[in-house]
Amino acid sequence: MGSVKISQLTKEFSGVQALNNVNLDIQEGEFFALLGPSGCGKTTTMRCIAGFEQPTSGTIHIGETKVNHIPPNRRNCGMVFQSYALFPHMNVFENVAYSLNIKQLNAGNLATKLPIYLRLLNRKLGKYPKAIEQKVMEILEYVELDKHATRLTSELSGGQQQRVALARALVMEPAVLLMDEPLSNLDQKLRHSMRNTIRRIQQDLGITTIFVTHDQEEAMSMADRVAVMDQGEVKQIGTPIELYSRPSTPFIANFVGTSNVLKGEVVGQENGHSIVKGHGFLLKSMNHVEKNDVNVIIRPENIKAFKPGTISEDQLTNIIEGKVLVSTYLGSIVRYDIQVEEYQLVVDTTFVPGEAILTEGEKVQLTIDPERVLLI
Amino acid sequence: MKNRLRSFNGLTVVKILIYAFFGIFLLLPLVSVFLVSFTSQPINLLGSITDPGILSSTIEKFKAISLANYEKIFTNKTYFSAVTNSLQLAVLVALIVIVMCIPIAYGIARTTMPFKKTIAALCTIPLIVPTFISAYAIIIMFGRSGWVTYIYNALGGEGMLLDPYSMAGIILVQVFFFFPYALWPMVAAFKVSDISLEEASLNLGARNWFTFIFVTFPLAIPGVISSALLIFTVSFSDFGTPIILAPKDLNLLVVEAYREIAGFFNWGGAAILTVIMVLVAAFFFWLQHLFTKGKNYGSVSGKPKQQKLNDAKGLTRTLSVYSLVIVIVPLLAMLSILLQSLATTWGKNPLPNGYTMKHYQTIFTSSIGNIQNSIVLALGALILSVIIATFVSYFVVRQNSSKLDFMTSVPLVVPGIAFGIALIQTFNTAPLHLTGTALLLILAYTIRRLPYMVRSTMGTMRSIKQDIEEAAVNLGATPLTAAITIIGPLMLPGIAAGSILVFITVIKETSISILLAPAEWAPMSLAIFQNILRGEYYTAAAMSVVLVVIVLILQAIANRISKNQL
């Protein structure tokens, strides 16, 4: 088991900057997510850790060891590939046993190597030692696949294949477990249960795990900490709650959940509130920032919508006038697109049965709690 | 390049070895023969590196460099006529094949022609038979005592319908045995245009024939031209037909080059003819490549277009009869060989005078060695090409080694006889004295047939995703171990299909066998050739039948394998 420390990692692909000064400090036993849109460099970062890409500059430490010059086959990073990359000519048992075979192969001399090669080429050509057999079956039991040990991987469902890939990586007792978009090939329902399975196994084994995803929900629900990446740079690192409540840029505010981003200017202070002014609004915020030109970030669920004149006395701060463009009924919530000057704000309100939904074209008043107005 | 860490390991060593292999056995001979075309004397480049004595004599030879051989192309009548005759032959064959194939291709691609499957099946016969056997079959049919001649005379004709020992005879063989190479690309070309275009044309008031000439055909033209260029190259490089059929007064490049080397040991003459052959073949190969680039007609792309086929009864029946008449000719040729092999004697009659298994007994007692030789040599070439092709496709697909990709396609361009001459010239003396050994024969077969093998293995290699290999490395395997335990087994189907193809083509190989095979290693093709030269026609026929049967069986196995893959 080990921590992973990445310092000033830079990677260029024939002149294109894929990674730019990436710094990550991942604790031992931590479940860490690399989150970002496609092409942001998250997969490249992971491949650098695994050793499939050689950094242009910067260092990577696994535990205390600098691994820059260790070839990928000796890094002991178990990796679960996006496509699972199961060996199609081997059955479940053989897939999982592969790394154990290789370990034996590297330890042995010429005489002991031959039988290993033979059983790697064809299962009929050699028997597996008890120790390997036991270890493989143990891990297969752990991922609930012991009954499928002799199946070909192509005969398994997507979720089962995923677990084979996981077992195959875990059996080598890796220092770090790397997972590349582990859930992207599964359907919605399976994804949910697999999320829990992976999280449970990670907690159980306490293995340092890094996983790459473009799905913020996945990252937020599974990881201890998340690094949001964009255009080859790490934009913010934090726990899911920190990322959601205090995004450091408008990009993150929008990437992690939905946000309304308005341009504003801080025009003064009043009772510990910043007063920020923009087209169509004048808002108070509990936030204080050094600069004057700010981005005002408001989450959709933090805006309340009222028909004009129906706002109760105690909510008479931070009122914005607007007009309903679209209202979408989404079951437990109603989502409105509301025009406020040049902005279209997204507003989520809890649906209360019996209460009328605002109709398109209707005038509307919005209020926001100053505590929920974020300035960045 | 992607990973400097992996730059030196077992695979790198393999890569260097493969480069060395191509360098020594493909590029060196071609370069040498090019140099000899200037010096007129054998050049020993390898020897020049190892032995200072040879080096100084090589330098001497370079001092005597001249363009004399190049002038000879125009001054020497034999050479000049060889070039023009060869070009003329190839052009005629290409034109005739195209014209002949247009109705068949249209019939298969665009109509509900009856017997389509039978016709398609018969089209494979010419591809199985080595050309010198086809040439010999034409002699049995059209020769002075052939059965076609008999029928022709019985119908009142004088002499022979067509003298097989002539340009016309050679054209006849090449047209009927090369046309399938053009047919399938042309079928694909005709499938490109949509029936709706034709319906539009008809709807606008055009007649059927007008539509064909001005709508259907123009759309197929790129495919047709590319087919013509392909046939040109195949005909131009063919050695089997001319060596059997070319009369003394008809000079052809391949035959002339063979005579210069086998008859007179005229290095300069053989070299200049070789250079011309390679240049012409390479030029047309390049032209053809240019035409097919970016126009992959037969390829799989998206959903298949629903095509309405022309089902006018008169048209489809006419096309069917015409196609059957064409494709039946190679079949008749093969049946003639079969009858000859079973005949006691066969004079100028429609059928043999009597039947016997004697000739088969003869070859299975006295010539069993040739059969064994063929199999051993083919196996040798097969093993070598499997190993090389597997690694080459690995380097090309995984490491984008375009140099190796290019190198393995060079043999496609070099006519067999040219390559043979280059090899003899290069490996005639120490330090690598290989001429006259089975090893050189195997090496020659391997290089010549490697492109087929590489194509097959490269296809499978492409279908193996990169991450499967990375997974193996991630689990602790070195790149070489990953290649052996993961990539190798996954490539087996491609390797199997490719190696059968190599085996077949090596058994069929004529030019290299005739030029390079030592007496004690004579393969079947050489034995048949010598039997024909000696006038032992019946045993030649029996041996040909054995050869074709072996090829047929292997082809059937190969088809099964590739079907299972799909």
Q: Does B61 map to a domain? A: no
Q: How far is residue A315's CA from residue A367's CA, in Å, rounded to a whole number?
A: 7
Structural class in CATH, domain A4-245: alpha beta
B104 and B247, same structural domain? Answer: yes
Q: Does B21 map to a domain? A: no
Q: CB B474 to CB A77 under 8 A?
A: yes
- pLDDT confidence bin for B446, thresholds 50/70/90: very high
Q: How far is residue B40's CA from residue B93's CA, in Å, rounded to a whole number?
A: 33
**Among the listed residues B139, B156, B311, the one whose alpha carbon sits nearest the alpha carbon of residue B240:** B139
- Other beta carbons within 10 Å of A358: 19
- Other beta carbons within 10 Å of A16: 8
- Locate tokens 């398109």: which residue? A360
Instruction: Tell me the mean pLDDT in the region A342-360.
Output: 86
Closest Cα in chain A, distance from residue B13 (Å): 18
SS3 A67: coil
Question: What are the Cα distances from residue B413, in Å, to A277, B19, B63?
Answer: 76, 19, 31
B545 and B518, same structural domain? Answer: yes
Measured between its terminal Cα atoms, the distance across chain A in Å is 38
Q: CB A85 to CB B5 under 8 A?
A: no
pLDDT exceeds cutoff 60 at B306: no
Q: How far is residue A178's CA from residue A78's CA, in Å, rounded to a whole number?
A: 6
| Amino acid at residue number A318 | N
Tokens representing B383 are 């093993």
Q: CB B477 to CB A81 under 8 A?
A: no
| Amino acid at residue number A15 | G
Predicted confidence at residue B6, as pLDDT, reads: 45
B351 and B363, same structural domain? Answer: no
Interface probe for B, chosen from A102, A116, A178 (most Cβ of B below 10 Å), is: A102
Instruction: Report the residue of chain B nearest A177, measured CA to CA.
Output: B474
Q: How far is residue A45's CA from residue A4's CA, in Å, rounded to a whole number?
A: 12
- Tell me: ipTM over 0.95: no
Domain residue extents for chain A = 4-245, 258-375
Predicted confidence at residue B302, as pLDDT, reads: 36
- pLDDT confidence bin for B193, thresholds 50/70/90: low
Strand pairing class (A303-306; A293-298) = unpaired
Predicted confidence at residue B298, as pLDDT, reads: 37
Question: What are the Cα distances from residue B187, in Å, to B160, B176, B291?
Answer: 35, 17, 16
B140 and B223, same structural domain? Answer: yes
Q: What is the pLDDT of residues A66-90, one digit of tens each?
A: 999 999 988 899 999 988 889 988 8
Percent of chain B with pLDDT over 90: 21
Query: Is the pLDDT higher at B307 or at B366?
Result: B366
Predicted confidence at residue B5, as pLDDT, reads: 44
Using the Cβ of A89 and the Cβ atoms of chain B, whether some distance falls under 8 Å is answered with yes
B458 and B321, same structural domain? Answer: no
Q: Looking at residue B394, which CATH number applies to its domain? A: 1.10.3720.10
Q: CB B490 to CB A52 under 8 A?
A: no
Q: Does B40 map to a domain? A: no
Q: How far is residue A376's CA from residue B61's CA, in Å, rounded to a whole number?
A: 82
Burial of A303 (0-12, 13-18, 19+ CB in 10 A): buried
B387 and B238, same structural domain? Answer: no
pLDDT exceeds cutoff 50 at A214: yes
- Other beta carbons within 10 Å of B447: 26
Element (H, E) at A348: strand A343-350
Percent of chain A with pLDDT over 90: 43
- pLDDT confidence bin for B303, thresholds 50/70/90: very low
Measured between its terminal Cα atoms, the distance across chain B in Å is 34
Tokens representing B239 are 């050695």
Predicted confidence at residue B307, as pLDDT, reads: 60
Interface probe for A, chosen from B12, B470, B473, B475 (most Cβ of A below 10 Å), is: B475
Q: What is the pLDDT of residues A277-321, one digit of tens each?
A: 888 888 888 888 888 899 999 999 999 888 887 777 766 678 888
Question: CA dihedral defined by A43, A45, A50, A52, rounded to 10 degrees?
Answer: 70
Parent domain of B196: 67-299+308-355
Q: How far is residue A22's CA from residue A59's CA, in Å, rounded to a whole number?
A: 10
Q: Which residues contact B228 (CB under 8 A, 6 or more apart)?
A: B94, B95, B97, B98, B182
B312 and B407, same structural domain? Answer: no
The answer to whether A280 and A321 are in contact (CB under 8 A) is: yes
B426 and B473, same structural domain? Answer: yes
- pLDDT confidence bin for B106, thresholds 50/70/90: confident
**Among the listed residues B538, B178, B111, the one whose alpha carbon sits nearest the alpha carbon of residue B353:** B538
B374 and B419, same structural domain? Answer: yes
Q: Does B182 map to a domain? A: yes
Which fold is adopted by the domain A258-375? OB fold (Dihydrolipoamide Acetyltransferase, E2P) (2.40.50)
Low-confidence winner among A120-134, B81-95, B303-317 (lowest mean pLDDT): B303-317
A85 vs B470, B479, B488: nearest CB: B470
Q: How far is residue B477's CA from residue A103's CA, in Å, rounded to a whole number?
A: 8
Q: Does B27 map to a domain? A: no
The answer to whether B470 and A52 are in contact (CB under 8 A) is: yes
**Among the listed residues B200, B190, B281, the one whose alpha carbon sits nearest the alpha carbon of residue B233:** B281
Q: CB B477 to CB A71 under 8 A?
A: no
Question: What are the Cα distances from residue A171, in Å, to A33, A94, A99, A131, B76?
Answer: 22, 12, 8, 12, 77
B231 and B99, same structural domain? Answer: yes
Predicted confidence at residue B335, as pLDDT, reads: 92
Percent of chain B with pLDDT over 70: 93
- Other beta carbons within 10 Å of A319: 16
Given B291, B322, B355, which residue is the final one in a domain? Answer: B355
The answer to whether A286 and A374 are in contact (CB under 8 A) is: no
pLDDT exceeds cutoff 70 at B245: yes
Predicted confidence at residue B345, as pLDDT, reads: 83
Instruction: Tell me the mean pLDDT in the region A365-376.
Output: 88
Q: CB B477 to CB A54 under 8 A?
A: no
Using the Cβ of A102 and the Cβ atoms of chain B, whether some distance falls under 8 Å is answered with yes
Tokens representing A117 are 């090669």
Instruction: Tell me the mean pLDDT in the region B83-96.
Output: 94
Predicted confidence at residue B294, as pLDDT, reads: 53
Q: How far is residue A240's CA from residue A247's CA, in Å, rounded to a whole number?
A: 10
The answer to whether A4 and A208 are in contact (CB under 8 A) is: yes
B→A interface, C-beta within 8 Å = 2-6, 465, 467-468, 470-479, 481, 484-486, 488-490
- pLDDT confidence bin for B562, thresholds 50/70/90: low
- pLDDT confidence bin for B286, thresholds 50/70/90: confident
- Locate tokens 């015409």: which residue? B322
Q: How far is residue B7's CA from residue A357's CA, in Å, rounded to a whole number?
A: 66
Predicted confidence at residue A139, as pLDDT, reads: 93
The answer to whether A322 and A364 are in contact (CB under 8 A) is: yes
**Number of structural domains found in chain B:** 2
Q: Does B8 map to a domain? A: no
Q: What is the pLDDT of residues B479-525, one digit of tens each?
A: 888 888 888 888 887 888 788 888 888 888 888 888 888 888 999 98
Instruction: Write down the H helix ranges in B293-427.
Output: 313-342, 358-366, 368-399, 402-413, 416-426
Q: How far is residue B112's CA from residue B479's CA, in Å, rounded to a whole number?
A: 53
Q: CB B475 to CB A69 under 8 A?
A: no
Q: Please identify among residues 241-270 of chain A the ones whose CB lies closer than 8 Å to any CB of chain B.
A: none
B417 and B387, same structural domain? Answer: yes
Interface probe for A, chosen from B11, B465, B474, B486 (most Cβ of A below 10 Å), is: B474
Q: Does B47 map to a domain? A: no
Q: How far is residue B505's CA from residue B385's CA, in Å, rounded to a whole number?
A: 12
- pLDDT confidence bin for A1, thresholds 50/70/90: low
Q: Does B1 map to a domain? A: no
